[in-house]
Structure 1
Amino acid sequence: MAALILSACASLPSETSSPRHTLILISIDGWRADYQTRGLTPNLSYLAENGATGPMRPSFPSLTFPNHYTLVTGKRPDHHGIVGNTMRDPQRPGVTFRLSDREQVTDGFWWNDAEPFWVTAQAKGVKVATMFWPGSEAEIHGARPYKYATFEDHVPPATVVERGLAWFDVPEAERPQALTLYFSDVDHAGHDFGPDSPEVAASLQAVDEGIGHLIAGLKARRLWGKVNIVIIGDHGMTRHKPETFIKVADLLPPDSATVYGGQAAGFIPNPGREKQVEAALLKPHAHMQCWRKQDIPARFHYGTHRRVPPIVCLANPGSYIVAPSRDDWMPKPQGGSHGYDPYNPEMFTRLIVFGPDIRPGVTLKTFDNVDVYPLIMHLMHVKAQPSDGRLRDLAPALR
């Protein structure tokens, strides 16, 4: 009988241009899985207790842009092409993709190796509005979301919610059937002050107030009970160990390689310097481990995409690999970071899913974040694109 129930849950409803229930997908950047146990978020706890929840493992590298694109494509970074927050592509010589470079962030070239759910859904007539979601400002496969907003940092969660809800304040035929929201400040507080700081606590409370604002706004619009809410993070957070920070300038001459530092650092040796760079990096280190891209451990599912640099080094949790170009800069000693081994529990984030299509009171086992994409496609009644995710891992959450 249990097998029959799971099979029924995992079957995709027939596609429709008008999903029975609206989908709201919310990202809390830097939302470590255990933050939910701190007693600071009653609105999130209400949704978790009356819906389904469980810890979620990010993809490697456990960074913001790679994981946000995984969540909406179901593909791991090695397959969707956003392999880091900073990266190069041999098809664009001399060009570097960085989070801070709006020209590159909004260029569909970087995103076209996969198809986010809003492109697929809108091809089936489902309107999707995106509020700040990474990638949503680019034209991907020739399409943009029905509605989208230019990213602004440090916008209070209640304001993000208010702007998103305003897209529903139009005649029904013009309303989006799916909405994404993105909250950034939990991540910022974790980076600046560490995961156990009062500042993180305050940012969690602000997010929870935003969720309360969402609930009230849906009720006022008579949409409560007609919406499936999916709340996720992109990665966790761990505190810095400044005594373990690694300065690449102490390992390599400055003219030997292009270096992208951080928690998972990339190295592109300059022509003729390959053996020197490999000799310096591919040996035991106290606070990091390095591999040629083809030798990266299989459990990371990483190393085949053309944008993955020839050598990748992964810092131990709390450590940081400082590139020579930033030799006069260090992460805040009292702060925190992510980007480490996704199997480290401090990198785990969380899923909460609530709504008319969700079974209440379900606790899920730890799962990989590639499974979120088939879940949201199922909830929208739109056939998913091929991906690395499996709906059956989250089937216990479904009615």
Structure 2
Amino acid sequence: MKYKLSMSITLVVITMFLGCHNIPGKHTEQPYLIVLSLDGFRWDYPEKAYTPTLDSLANAGSRAESIIPCFPTKTFPNHYSIATGLYPDNHGLVLNNFYATDLKREYSVYKRETVQDGAFYGGTPIWNAAESNGIKSATMFWVGSAADINDSKPSIWMEYNKQLSLDSRIDTLVNWLTLPENIRPHFIMWYYYEPDTQGHIHGPNSPQVIEEIEKLDDFLSQFFTAMRKLPEFDKLNFIITSDHGMSEISLEREIFIDHLVDTSLIEFVDGGNPIMNIKAKEGKTDEVYQMLLNSGTNLKAWKHGQLPDHLNYGKNIRTQDITVVADSSWSIGFSWQKYDGKGTHGYDNSIRDMHSIFYASGPAFKSNYLHPQFNNIDIYPLMGRILDIELPANDGNMDNVIEILKVN
């Protein structure tokens, strides 16, 4: 249930966000932009929980009805899509874990040596574009930022440490933003793994997720309180977003691939529930594909290069021979696997449960403005406009987000 925010709290928090912000024109000094991603934060979670900080942020700044992630709606592909403005097919992170046929190597989110290997990453991450334009950047756990991509990295980056406390994360940003001007980052991207974990374990409609959302809202209140104390606060622009949403699943809606297909015809499978890319044994692609088509179950299958246009996926060599995706709230796997979670993501990105959040505040953004839904790749040109830098060609569209800005 959503409770009314008291007038006193609303006024205090709105005042914090509005401060003495000036309307930006052509920048006479380097702008600031801080982008936070909260993993798996579904678009409608704030309607289910008590979120005074996010409510006040929406009143003081801008909010989108929802953000449409890229397909597949997985964590690593989408964080890197936000960072590059490219669909996963075009930047190369086609799943969280996959075999890169072109490199003849496996990429795994669980292996630091691959996560930090720039050969897997295409495109120009926004932190590299900022650095090449003279804007120092810092990242905390953002996908791709620990890798040398085209021989470039942010000025400050951190190896992933899930155990780093929320307080320590805030302290780190405060320290960065109080560095001497000549080494101070003006562009920061940082990441936190919740509420995704709670959504996977307990499901998106669980009390545990609501509790986590309210804890995160309190964390955001502490973060903005710390930011408000900085001398540069009135110059800071903030974006809070996420990589994807979450769907409810259950053991009653489970499909076993080995019950549909002769697995002796399969070389290997990338991915997992609810999306898999299948590499068939030589000459067996059509046979495996027909078995999947004839199954009559709650899944869809396409051969390489034949996925629907709206998915913008399946032409990269790393997506293998066949892509299989479960219908919304259904699960796919193999009978020998055990998965007892109650939530997942990875489905068709047109499904609303996969959509995520977007909040923004600062001198660049309109106040009390609700924007229609847009694609997460559009955040890339938006960040470029705020930072006042030229970006390489990308899949994002500035026209989709221009109205969020005070001066456009």
* TM-score w.r.t. length of structure 1: 0.91
CA contact 2:71–2:346 (8 Å) conserved in 1: yes
Please say if 1:364 is aligned against 2:365.
no
Deviations 1:268-311 (A, max 9, x none): 00224334322212335321110102211111111221111210
Deviations 1:351-375 (A, max 9, x none): 1111011110111111111110000
Q: Map 1:1-399 to 2 at 5 A.
A: 18-19=29-30, 21-54=31-64, 55-93=66-104, 95-111=105-121, 113-257=122-266, 258-260=268-270, 261-323=272-334, 327-332=336-341, 335-399=342-406
Task: Give SS of 2:157's match.
Answer: strand
CA contact 1:15–1:382 (8 Å) conserved in 2: no
Give ranges in structure 2 of 5+ residues lacking alignment.
1-23
Task: Give SS of 1:201's match.
Answer: helix
Distance, in Å, in 2 between the alignment partners of 1:285 and 1:185 is 36
Query: Post-superposition shift, 1:154?
Result: 4.9
Which piece of structure 1 moves more, 277-286 or 384-393?
Answer: 277-286
Distance, in Å, in 1 between the alignment partners of 2:170 and 2:326 is 36
Query: Post-superposition shift, 1:323?
Result: 4.1
Distance, in Å, in 2 between the alignment partners of 1:129 and 1:197 is 35
Task: Give SS of 1:158's match.
Answer: helix
Query: Post-superposition shift, 1:252?
Result: 2.7
Task: Give SS of 2:358's match.
Answer: strand
The residue type paired with residue 403 of structure 2 is P
Q: 1:321 to 1:15 in 2, by over 3 A?
A: farther
* Paired positions, count: 380
The residue type paired with residue 234 of structure 2 is G
CA contact 2:49–2:210 (8 Å) conserved in 1: no
Query: Post-superposition shift, 1:169?
Result: 2.8
Task: Give SS of 1:182's match.
Answer: strand
The residue type paired with residue 101 of structure 2 is P
Deviations 1:156-196 (A, max 9, x none): 43332222222123212211011111110200000010111
CA RMSD of aligned residues (A): 1.8
* TM-score w.r.t. length of structure 2: 0.89
Distance, in Å, in 2 between the alignment partners of 1:321 and 1:229 is 38
CA contact 1:192–1:336 (8 Å) conserved in 2: yes
Q: 1:369 to 1:298 in 2, by over 3 A?
A: same
Deviations 1:305-330 (A, max 9, x none): 11112100110112222147xx2322
Distance, in Å, in 2 between the alignment partners of 1:15 and 1:118 is 19
Give ranges in structure 1 of 5+ residues lacking alignment.
1-11
Distance, in Å, in 1 between the alignment partners of 2:107 and 2:44 is 32
Q: 1:323 to 1:160 in 2, by over 3 A?
A: farther
Task: Give SS of 2:346's match.
Answer: coil
Distance, in Å, in 1 between the alignment partners of 2:284 and 2:163 is 42
Task: Give SS of 1:384's match.
Answer: coil
Task: Give SS of 1:374's match.
Answer: helix
CA contact 1:244–1:320 (8 Å) conserved in 2: yes
